[in-house]
Structure 1
Amino acid sequence: MKSFKSMAASLLGSAVLLSAVVSPAIAATPVPVKPAVPVSSPQVKGVVITSKTIQQKTAEYEANITIPVISGLNDKAYEAKLNADLLKQAQDALKERQIMSKQDAIDAKKYGYPMRPHAVDISYKVHSVGKLIAFSVQTYLYTGGAHGMTDVTYYNIANLDKAQNLQLADLFQPGINYHYVLNNLIKQQIQADPEKAELYSFETVADNQPYSFENGNLVIHFTQYEIAAYAAGMPAFAIPPHSYLNLLRSDVKALLQ
């Protein structure tokens, strides 16, 4: 998923602002288990999200994988490709652990150091809002080091005749300087916390910055190491409705109703 896999393999109000304005390779036999993350969030009418689960354990690695399978989208071609991509990403992560953990075991035996079993854990969470089919997929990889690495990919899919995974830049009206608005709101939250102000290094959101809609808020997400040290985890900043709703495109607003 993105550039994370390669990194993981080696190691993880504001009126003023508004006026300024924006086939798998598997060595062991998969054993069906319960989903790692229960799908308890509301399902969008007509759209069903079920789970596909793979669990494996050997002396060299352990895998606990539960990915979403989406059905009921208006755009069937998009739906088929989305499910295929989600499955392939999980299979690739599993295959990589199988290969690397086997090599690590060979090296450990050769050079006389203890073998620490690798791990890959994939789970998901549904955040469905209106006609926006939103969910996140979390991947945790452990490669035998001091700690593992976690990455979360957020999907925000407009369930239209021609479906689209909306990026952050797709949300806002043309001409809106949403970077300015979001950057200042995030900086305000950082400065309000002395610990964050000292440890965080934030400059700007990207056009494809991960985001989600939660409890009415627009939540901007950052990956491990992106704006702070590993100990800070994956920082997230909630932008309240009054600070962003008027900046959204009308068709995006309709998706949220």
Structure 2
Amino acid sequence: MKSLKSITAGLVGSAVLFSAVAMPAFAATSAQPLPAAKPAPVASAQNPQAKGVVVTSKIIQQKTAEYEANITIPVISGLKDKAFEAKLNADLLKYAQDQLKERQTMSKQDAIDSKKYGYPMRPHAVDISYKVISVGKLVSFSVQTYLYTGGAHGLTDMTYYNIANLDKAKNLQLSDLFQAGYDYRYVLNNLIKQQIKNNPEIADVYNFETIAENQPFSFENGNLVIHFTQYEIAPYAAGMPAFSIPVHSYLNLLKPEVKALLQ
């Protein structure tokens, strides 16, 4: 087995970030385009076609009196599994279209109700963006969705994708990472609980018991990062908590094929 230092270097080396290129967007005929595109939070790099995988952006922007949409979704190309790639891109586009359609429907009804019952109409909003984390053997990115429906505040959700770029591609779940016979949830739970305990600013307000088998995760700077949604383990003000697990704490638990993806 490689030394811990070399494994860590491999993990960091695989995290190649690249820029997003705008593509044409679809739009409803009744909507008015915004004057400028809101940039997707994607870091740039000198070589945007590293290891054959390229990510570009599809931008959808609309603004009416009832709602505003600022949507930037990733379009993936260069995966070895073309059928998986096609379905992934179709699913990402459908998700964006569904979120937009829901906002159009709900905001229209809210406008009708506001006139009927005499309360002020607050325009709805949907904001979708993405961030590329790594490309190569592991293609990793996140999609963030912010929704506002007229209440006191909006809600944000994050979805993480960790795709094994193989002849038969797969979007890895947390349970896919570890060898059989290891209680990885026990290990990770204790590490997260210890981090919470050691931070007096959050110890009294976080309510963490256990991670799920499909708990969102990412590999960043050689560490395994466990992500939580709003309200999952803490109040709204805490945002979306994340805990970074150092490589030496989980490396020996990984399946050999997962280690190979990270090198």
TM-score, with structure 1 as normaliser: 0.87
Distance 1:244 1:79, change over 3 A: same
Counterpart residue number, 2:206 = 200
Secondary structure class of the residue paired with 1:201: coil
Counterpart residue number, 1:240 = 246
Distance 1:69 1:104, change over 3 A: same
Q: Is the 8 A contact 1:218 1:238 kept in 2?
A: yes
Distance 1:194 1:152, change over 3 A: same
Counterpart residue number, 2:3 = none
Counterpart residue number, 1:190 = 196
Paired positions, count: 235
CA RMSD of aligned residues (A): 1.8
Distance between the aligned counterparts of 1:141 and 1:69, measured in 2? 22
Counterpart residue number, 2:219 = 213
Secondary structure class of the residue paired with 1:190: helix
Q: Is the 8 A contact 2:32 2:64 kept in 1?
A: no
After TM superposition, the structure 1 = structure 2 runs for residues 106-145 of structure 1, keeping only pairs within 5 Å, are 106-145=112-151
Q: Does 1:61 align with 2:67?
A: yes
Q: Is the 8 A contact 1:67 1:124 kept in 2?
A: yes
Q: Does 1:98 align with 2:104?
A: yes
Q: Is the 8 A contact 2:40 2:131 kept in 1?
A: no
Secondary structure class of the residue paired with 1:199: coil
CA shift at 1:253, angstroms? 0.4
Distance between the aligned counterparts of 1:239 and 1:26, measured in 2? 48
Distance 1:130 1:76, change over 3 A: closer
Q: Is the 8 A contact 2:71 2:96 kept in 1?
A: yes
Counterpart residue number, 2:31 = 28
Counterpart residue number, 1:164 = 170
Distance 1:233 1:34, change over 3 A: closer
Q: Is the 8 A contact 1:202 1:227 kept in 2?
A: yes
CA shift at 1:195, angstroms? 2.7
What is the aligned-residue identity percentage? 80
Q: Is the 8 A contact 2:53 2:77 kept in 1?
A: yes
CA shift at 1:40, angstroms? 2.0
Which structure carries more relative contact order (alpha carbon 8 Å, separation 6+)?
1
Q: Does 1:249 align with 2:252?
A: no
TM-score, with structure 2 as normaliser: 0.85
User: Which ranges in structure 2 are unaligned for 5 or more consecutive residues?
Assistant: 1-25
Counterpart residue number, 2:44 = 40
Secondary structure class of the residue paired with 1:77: helix
CA shift at 1:34, angstroms? 5.7
Q: Deviations over 1:156-206 (max 9, x none)?
A: 000000000000000001111101110000000000012311101111111
Secondary structure class of the residue paired with 2:85: helix
> What letter is aligned with 2:72?
T
Secondary structure class of the residue paired with 1:220: strand
CA shift at 1:30, angstroms? 5.8
Q: Deviations over 1:207-253 (max 9, x none)?
A: 10000011111000000010011111100000001101111101000
